[in-house]
Chain A
């Protein structure tokens, strides 16, 4: 009887998880074709063909984009979203399908869709040839349900949104989105990054990032000492509580055990219980295949 109860609870939990996952919800639009043609170094011409499904009417439009390679695309409402790579940064470009025009675009690192309308990414900064400094990276969320202006904490009065491609002086395609981590940035609605030269910086690792049904964003962070990279880095699991919205989100961290010189490789973060996650490791890499970590309370 006890066992049956447990199975039922687990099933209910899983249903909750699945219902929350990213999926294609009903949209009147369907992507038929996306193509990129090089115009000049750093600039491509996107041609998108989409179908308006209620009347089976194909719609085609073209625009200059910074994206050199499309890595993911999806439609949310009347918006087409491209996640891709420019030459030296990741790019997110958002198009209004009704208007057949670009709505917004920005550069960042490692963007990923975590819910129907949220895209999570790291703030862009120049990473190469910057000398022995360790950045304290900033995590942001772009909310497709908001307007481009609502996705900016501050924007100059004459700022062009979207910026043209190629961008010009005064255009700002970096400071976009709602800062959610670290907590200081979230509270102060600030995009400001620091670069440490004497004490450790912080690297945010997004490949296993997970938004839980409780709207807690869970990901791994690691110290990075100036000049030392990730060698022997201390790792911790970070939780950002977005259950009360994107603004001023509180966050907390749990230190992870040291599993290897290069730091533990975490293949996935899976919901385990409402207040715990399972960290899955690559099979056979460590003495254990997974580790359950309790999440801090807020």
Chain B
């Protein structure tokens, strides 16, 4: 189906200059244009012209026929004629342009909003993610004029970085396209685990000796005869599964001691401020591996099925395909994975 004009075929004011028109001339502009005379005064003819919307490119003769003054018949001067000719050029409008625009793109909303015009036209809409010479097609199907919301098809995105979204509409023998700048890095299918800072009250076990330091004026001050519940010491300081931080009953917030003592286990520092390596910790923050490509303060990560979280901490064990989510749940045990399966993970800029 060809695109159809909607804004052509209107009336345009026209003035013809000359002499001897009389006040009631007849104007003929050929097969594709019609001139309606509004008034004439002998040297000017004022009227409107309308052109056939389907007119081709053509040259047409315009003929003015005078009917004399007052319509009483043309009284020719010697050598004069009642008619005069001129030539006008008509430029065919042809098919109007089909247009495509990308109004927005959002991974968290899983939506690319595309507007196609004009209405009533249909063709193949293709939406791609672009980075340099690399493209990934997220959608390709028939769509008509109007506004369309297209899914990124997130679970099937390939790993890689993309900086633009491109929409192309093959319609009416045309191929208009539009580019929208939208920067994402698809990290891939990641495992999503959780970590926390347990509270000693939630841990079992008898009081056990633990080496606890406080830092006072850059000096290490050991707390004599310190004890904490065995389950709490284990959950916080055990190198295989310890969280590295916790809320103790008697020593404020505690963390692994890494300055005062070479003794690996169990040594702790008391009265610390629990925070991540790049910012505060909350239910909206995650820890990532330094090689993840997202190890920057407040880098935004979209996790399919979860939403957007901010990077504020470092996860040494996460490697290439794991992200650790902080939770304010202060349980001592039972903090399992956030999701039962791996989920698509995307850095958004």
* Chain A residues, Cβ within 8 Å of B244: 88, 126-130
Task: Check: A87 CB closer than 8 A to any chain B CB.
Answer: yes
The one of A166, A203, A229 that contacts B297, using a Cβ cutoff of 8 Å: A229
* Chain B residues, Cβ within 8 Å of A87: 240-241
Instruction: Select from chain B the residue with minimum beta-carbon distance to A230.
Output: B295
Closest Cβ of chain B to A169, distance in Å, is 6
A36–B24 alpha-carbon span in the complex (Å)? 105
Contact A284–B132 (Cβ < 8 Å): yes
Closest Cβ of chain B to A79, distance in Å, is 21
Contact A229–B314 (Cβ < 8 Å): yes
Closest Cβ of chain A to B161, distance in Å, is 8
Contact A130–B258 (Cβ < 8 Å): yes
The one of A90, A169, A172, A224 that contacts B209, using a Cβ cutoff of 8 Å: A169
Closest Cβ of chain B to A132, distance in Å, is 6
Contact A131–B275 (Cβ < 8 Å): yes
A30–B334 alpha-carbon span in the complex (Å)? 37
Task: Check: B239 CB closer than 8 A to any chain A CB.
Answer: yes
Task: Check: B66 CB closer than 8 A to any chain A CB.
Answer: no
Q: Which of B240, B243, B275 lies at the interface centre, i.e. has the most chain A CB atoms within 10 A of its CB?
A: B240
A88–B241 alpha-carbon span in the complex (Å)? 5
Contact B241–A86 (Cβ < 8 Å): yes
Task: Check: B324 CB closer than 8 A to any chain A CB.
Answer: yes
Scoring A residues 163 to 180 as 1 if CB is less than 8 Å from chain B, else 0, what string do you get? 000110111111100000
How many chain-B residues does the 8 Å CB contact rule pick out? 55
A195–B308 alpha-carbon span in the complex (Å)? 30
Interface on chain B toward A: helix, strand, loop, or mixed SS? Answer: loop
* Chain B residues, Cβ within 8 Å of A86: 240-241, 317
Task: Check: B190 CB closer than 8 A to any chain A CB.
Answer: no
Instruction: Select from chain A the residue with minimum beta-carbon distance to B294.
Output: A262
Interface of chain A residues 63 through 109 with chain B (CB within 8 A): 66, 85-91, 107, 109
Given contacts A129-B275, A132-B278, A229-B277, contact A262 B293 (CB under 8 A): yes
Closest Cβ of chain A to B282, distance in Å, is 12
Contact B239–A124 (Cβ < 8 Å): yes
Contact A128–B243 (Cβ < 8 Å): yes
* Chain B residues, Cβ within 8 Å of A229: 277-278, 290, 295-297, 311, 314
Scoring A residues 137 to 176 as 1 if CB is less than 8 Å from chain B, else 0, what string do you get? 0000000000000000000000000000011011111110
Scoring A residues 229 to 241 as 1 if CB is less than 8 Å from chain B, else 0, what string do you get? 1110000000000
Contact B316–A89 (Cβ < 8 Å): yes
Q: Which of A66, A91, A127 lies at the interface centre, i.e. has the most chain B CB atoms within 10 A of its CB?
A: A127
Q: Which 8 A-B pairs have the closest CB atoms?
A: A126-B244, A127-B316, A129-B245, A87-B241, A86-B240, A231-B296, A42-B241, A229-B295
Sample of 24 A–B contacts (CB below 8 Å): A41-B241, A42-B240, A88-B243, A91-B240, A125-B258, A126-B239, A127-B244, A130-B244, A131-B274, A131-B275, A167-B239, A167-B240, A169-B265, A170-B265, A203-B290, A205-B290, A205-B291, A229-B296, A229-B297, A229-B311, A230-B290, A230-B291, A262-B293, A284-B132
Query: Residues of B with Cβ closer than 8 Å to A?
Result: 131-134, 161, 195, 197, 208-209, 233-234, 238-245, 255-256, 258-259, 262, 264-266, 272-279, 281, 287, 290-291, 293, 295-297, 311, 313-317, 319-320, 324, 326, 333-334
